Amino acid sequence: MPNPALVLAGVTVGIFLLGLNFDYAYGDQLRFIVLGDWGELKLRGQAWVAAGMAAWAEENDPAFIITTGDNIYPKGLRTPDDVQMDYKWRDVYHNYTSLVDLRWYVSLGNHDYGDWEGEEWNEIGFAEYDYRWILPHLWYDYVVDLGDGGTVHFLAIDTETFTKQIVRNNYTDMVDWMEDTLRTSTADWKFVYGHRHVFTAGDALQRGPVTGDLFDVLVPIMERNDVDAYICGHDHNLQHLRNISGVGLDYVISGAGGALLSRHMSDYEEVLRNEYNIDTLFFNMTYGFVTVAVEKSFARFDYYDENAQLFYTFSRSK
């Protein structure tokens, strides 16, 4: 099991930048879990997925968990020490020995913004109360050094500040930071994760298959800086999408952590293919999670249901 006292070193802090670099001392392969749209106790899905994650973690020894937002339903945290973090997080996941010591590298979703009056900062404040909750800012980055000499650069972004153009959070600064951080990165792998999808073949409250702001502004940044995958949630299912050419970004949706599931929309899939050259390679309306295994020249994405049953996988090579 990863050491809970793992030290984060080489920290550079700015108003809108915090880079975290650490050595991953558990072999040449980095393994982590991707969970999205999860803090919802009204349905039984969250507990089912937690059990599945624990079963997988017991056999695979992941380094950490990343979240794709909508961490606390329905309206995020009211205060940094909100008791919701006990019964919607600790009591759900930390009863399992394979999960209890894992750090969570968090991104925020629309539900984490509550009534849009600054509640998003409460989840950042909560990091002071539990070392396992990593959320130093609305957006941040960190680099993992692999045992085989490879490096993986993660950028956690805040799609809500950007798409809602929230002035109090200086939303335009995130775009400049993202461009500069990716441009100067020398990592073998670059993964960007956040909440809202760029493309989806699911209903996502029937708001259409494309998030226009992300497609127009953030996708070009990721493409010209050789990002390998954009990982997100928001649509409550599991998906894999890619350009019909078979090259470029992989779009991974892991939003099936516990909230009410979203159905497939065949007309959305048709629009994505005919108007955006995007193939929906996989879609499943089931509770579950995604895991990623990364080495210097190889990365594999595995999709599991709530029972930790593998039902889809794809890989990338360098």
Cβ–Cβ < 8 Å for 289, 102: no
Average pLDDT over every residue of 255-278? 97
Confidence label for 187 from pLDDT (cuts 50, 70 and 90): very high
Average pLDDT over every residue of 179-186? 97
Instruction: Give me the helices (H) in the chain, please.
Output: 45-60, 84-85, 91-93, 120-126, 159-163, 171-184, 212-213, 219-224, 266-276
The 10s digit of each residue's pLDDT in 38-70 is 999 888 999 999 999 999 999 999 999 999 999
Closest CA to 191 of 54, 90, 299: 299
| pLDDT at res. 18 | 42
For 55-60, which contacts have Cβ atoms below 8 Å and span 24 or more sequence positions? 55/98, 55/307, 55/308, 56/289, 56/291, 56/304, 56/308, 57/33, 57/96, 57/98, 57/99, 57/102, 58/97, 58/98, 60/31, 60/291
Give the range among 4-18, 33-47, 175-189, 228-242 with minimum mean pLDDT: 4-18
Average pLDDT over every residue of 130-159? 94
Percent residues over pLDDT 70 in the chain: 91
Using the predicted structure, report yes or no on whether residue 98 has a pLDDT greater than 60. Answer: yes
d(CA 33, CA 163): 26
| pLDDT at res. 207 | 81
Confidence label for 7 from pLDDT (cuts 50, 70 and 90): very low
| pLDDT at res. 40 | 92
Using the predicted structure, report yes or no on whether residue 9 has a pLDDT greater than 80. Answer: no
Give the range among 4-8, 218-222, 264-268 with minimum mean pLDDT: 4-8
Using the predicted structure, report yes or no on whether residue 20 has a pLDDT greater than 70. Answer: no
Average pLDDT over every residue of 198-215? 90
| pLDDT at res. 27 | 63
Percent residues over pLDDT 90 in the chain: 86
